[in-house]
Copies of this chain bind each other. A is one copy, B any other.
Amino acid sequence: MPRYPHVSPVVAAMPGRIYSSLAHRMAAHPGETYPLHVGDTYMEPAVGCRMQDLTVADHPGMHRYSSVQGDRALLDAICARTERTQGVPTPRDAVLVTAGATGGLGAVCGALVGLGDEVIILAPFWPLIAGIVHTMGGKPVPVPFFPDADTPITPEAAVKAVEAAITDRTVALYVNTPHNPTGRVIPQPVLAALAELTRKHDLWLLADEVYEHYVYRGEHAYTRPLAPERTFSNHSFSKAYGMAGNRCGYVVGPPEVMPELRKVSTHVWYSTPTASQIAAYNALQGPGDAWAAKARDLYADVGARAAARLGVPAPEGSTFLFLDVADALDDRGVDGLLSDCVDQGLLVGPGESFGPYPTHVRLCFTSVEPERALRGVDVLARCLGR
């Protein structure tokens, strides 16, 4: 009972901000800076999809609440797109428009995860997913899964790794492809084997596909067609179309469970921003895919050049590189490397934010303009002696 001055033990046990002291130092850096620790884009959204394009004359009442499920026009556009990309019937009741994919996964975990329930998370992992599971009272169970960038991911190894982690408290498996932080893309046969495994063990399946537009080699495979009765497919206008600040994404899942997600979303952020939903709708009318196609080419180029400079394979997808830098660390460990980088204006993420990876770092190669990002990569390469 956390009466004043105490707080909830669940929240107290969670780690706090990881970048604050370094970000503070970087803010004081006199020269050019390279904030490659954040997953974001330097590109402005497509014309027609910016806030300045959305007028009260065209959209009277656009500053009022929307429906908690989402604006009807946007819901219908999402249903049409999802049926086209996933090939699965997607009625309006299968969709919840969310405060970004973070809000979507928050609603999914809030609905599915009770106190002490376990969610298996393929590691390394997007840091927020562990915190989301924690916040909802659950226990994230990281399973080392993604091999080195040049080793294939096989169905057999995938099933073996995940099945070994299933306990009688496991309720769900979280899969993210294209992958943050490794830049890997999980092959379709691996997803099929994992979907079959969730069916065998009566688990829910959380498919985080926010980088679905950003594949540079191979092809993105959707998870929901493999087990539509148990899969929550998470998507993001943020990542797709350069609108992270708009806080708009969506979840597609089994219609009979979506009312449970809406209970959670209604009570943690109520409705998704109305203007952001109009911007998302406009993006889905064509400008978004044109923007994403252009972004994909630019991202592929800068990602490959960044990887080459660091001596690692080019990313298959997403907007990240995840490097084992053990050979370049002194007895200060990764903290020392990060500190040296900050002295030269570069911020990257420490591996331990992404699971049990104390000698790795992550960088995002799209958070600033390509040439500037590459100058940041060069800072890192020099710190690593590469």
Contact = CB atoms under 8 A, between A and B. Distances in A.
A100 interface: yes
A107 to B, nearest CB: 8
Interface in A1-53: 1-5, 7-12, 14, 16-17, 38, 40-41, 44-45, 50-53
A5 B106 CA distance: 19
A209 B29 CA distance: 40
A55 interface: yes
A283 to B, nearest CB: 11
Contacts of A244: 63-65
B66 A44 contact: no
Contact of A7 (B4, B12, B112, B274): B112
A16 B135 contact: no
Contacts of A51: 51-52, 54, 62-63, 275
B102 A135 contact: no
User: Interface on chain A toward B: helix, strand, loop, or mixed SS?
Assistant: loop
A103 B62 contact: no
A270 interface: yes
A50 B9 CA distance: 41
A65 B202 CA distance: 37
Interface string A255-284: 011011011101111111111100000000
Contacts of A100: 269-270
Given A51-B52, A247-B247, A106 B267 contact: yes
A56 to B, nearest CB: 5
A4 B204 contact: yes
Interface in A83-109: 99-100, 102-103, 106
Contacts of A4: 198, 202-204, 229-230
A137 to B, nearest CB: 6
Interface stretch (A126-134, A145-153, A294-302): A126-134
Given A12-B260, A51-B62, A112-B8, A106 B2 contact: no
B7 A111 contact: yes
Nearest to A66: B245
Nearest to A52: B55
What 5 pairs between A and B have smallest CB-CB spacing? A245-B274, A106-B268, A99-B269, A131-B267, A102-B270
Given A5-B229, A106-B268, 6 more contacts: A1-B169, A4-B203, A38-B65, A63-B245, A102-B267, A247-B269
5 contacts: A51-B62, A103-B268, A110-B268, A245-B273, A269-B269
